[in-house]
Amino acid sequence: MKSIVIKGAKVYHNGRFQDLEVRTDGPFISQVASRVSTDGARVIDASGLHLFPGIIDVQVHFREPGNTYKEDLESATRACAKGGVTSFCEMPNTSPPATNQKAMDYKLSLGAKKSRVNYSFFVGATNDNLDDLIGIKRVCGIKVFLGASTGDLLVDDMKALERIFAETNKNRVIAFHCEDEAFLRERKHLFEHRSDMRAYTEWRNVEAAYISSHRVVGLARKYQHRAHILHVSSARETELFHPRDTLVTAETSPHHLLLNVDDYDRLGTLGKMNPPLKYREDNAGLWKALQNGRIGVIATDHAPHTLEEKRRGTWKAPAGIPAVENSLALILDASSRGMCTLEQVVQWMCENPARTYAMKRKGFIQPGYDADLTLVDPNAEHVVRNSEQLTKCGWSPWDGQKLRGRALTTIVRGQVVYEDGQVNDDVRGSEIEFAV
């Protein structure tokens, strides 16, 4: 593998962007300095650009095995490369669900064969697979759905939930979909006669999420078990989290930051996901929680479904939207509008995701770390277009929207996987390693 030297960029190093050069040798970063050796290296002139650690998307659904007509590891990871995403953690609600070691090993073999970027997979919890969870190896974490969503995975037996906390490795992250299933079941009939998407939000409301997140935070503290709350959608939940807490951490998604029920007028059921969009004040509350450190991570919950499926009406359309190829651009665009700094984008989309899951050698531009790098032009404007999406489902809720800022070049373990608008299909990522 040819070494790479990146010159002329503002490089994110030790917490700020600096005029530095970076050299890769093999799959690793070998030098970060004001001048590095160019011997035997391909030199990339990155004047005017910013060099980020590769974006790490710690919540995606890539549909393989089982629903590869919506997405597969090839289409999804080509989309990642385009979006500047160099590593992902994939959810277990594939078909069949990934709930034991055999299923994990199979997914890892698919990753090695097909993934253009670095890969890892969650094992899914059920009411009765505790033994599988206790012995599991080579996973990023355990995923618990506390509210039913796409697929059959659900833990609705609260005794089973306590045993998962009590008996699995306390340092391994349990990642939670927090919407209280009993509360949802009780109230569904109040809304089902309505066909508007606001009814869907009123059903799966702030309280449904709050009750569930509150329970998880309590159990995590009781058992001193690592827990991570996924796709926080409301301002109210954020009061449950604390800056610098290393036991309970939280994540939100670009759509919960940037969209709300008003967008249903434009998107209809294309804007359906779980947990659903909330209100304008929730967008503001989530940005505030990122700013004050109660929430540390932005990840997409990339959840592709075909347009035909999405048009089946409020109650029949599946929940979920695709986002891996636009997430960085969306947050860079928000940054260009003064919502955050570029340094914060790196903290929320690279450093904290790596820290949250105790990934080895990822999330930072440091000698000895993996050469996963994303070259960003914060000023490049482009319009998101369905016709240009690489995700197999072929659409984006941001179709037609002009964004400022995007990834121009993506490097995965020392290999250029995306440049000049093209994916290099010869590149393969590696299995992500974890300290837990």
| Half-sphere exposure of residue 436: CA atoms within 13 angstroms, side-chain side | 21
Within 138-167, the residues that bind ligand DOR by CB under 6 A are 149-150
Residue 320 near ligand DOR by CB under 6 A: yes
Our CA dihedral for 160, 163, 169, 171, rounded to 10 degrees, sits at: 90
CA–CA separation, 170 and 141 (whole Å): 11
Residue 271 near ligand DOR by CB under 6 A: no
Within 381-410, the residues that bind ligand DOR by CB under 6 A are none
CA–CA separation, 174 and 367 (whole Å): 30
Within 84-103, the residues that bind ligand DOR by CB under 6 A are 93
Residue 107 near ligand DOR by CB under 6 A: no
Residue 177 near ligand DOR by CB under 6 A: yes
Q: Which two tokens stand for residue 280?
A: 């304008």
Residue 232 near ligand DOR by CB under 6 A: no
Q: What single DSSP character describes residue 351?
A: I
Segment contacting ligand DOR (CB under 6 A): 161-169, 253-261, 314-322, 391-399? 314-322
Q: Which two tokens stand for residue 287?
A: 């940005």
Does residue 301 have an active-site annotation? yes
Kindly list the distances between the CA atom of residue 15 and the CA atoms of 53, 183, 338, 370, in Å, as whole numbers in the listed order. 12, 43, 19, 18
Residue 310 near ligand DOR by CB under 6 A: no
In the complex, minimum distance from the CB of residue 319 to ligand DOR, in angstroms, rounded to a whole number: 4
Residue 76 near ligand DOR by CB under 6 A: no
Segment contacting ligand DOR (CB under 6 A): 192-200, 221-229, 316-324, 353-361? 316-324
Q: Which one of 25, 301, 372, 377 is the catalytic residue? A: 301
Kindly list the distances between the CA atom of residue 342 and the CA atoms of 7, 49, 272, 306, in Å, as whole numbers in the listed order. 19, 12, 29, 33
Residue 274 near ligand DOR by CB under 6 A: yes
CA–CA separation, 69 and 202 (whole Å): 31
Residue 259 near ligand DOR by CB under 6 A: no
- β-pair type (21-25, 28-33): antiparallel
In the complex, minimum distance from the CB of residue 233 to ligand DOR, in angstroms, rounded to a whole number: 10
Single residue of 6, 55, 123, 319 touching ligand DOR by CB under 6 A: 319
CB-neighbour burial class of residue 22 (10 A; exposed 0-12, middle 13-18, buried 19+): buried
Nearer to ligand DOR, 176 or 369 (CB): 176
Residue 83 near ligand DOR by CB under 6 A: no
| Contact positions vs ligand DOR (CB under 6 A) | 61, 93, 149-150, 177, 273-274, 301, 303, 318-320
Where in the sequence numbering do the catalytic residues fall?
Answer: 301
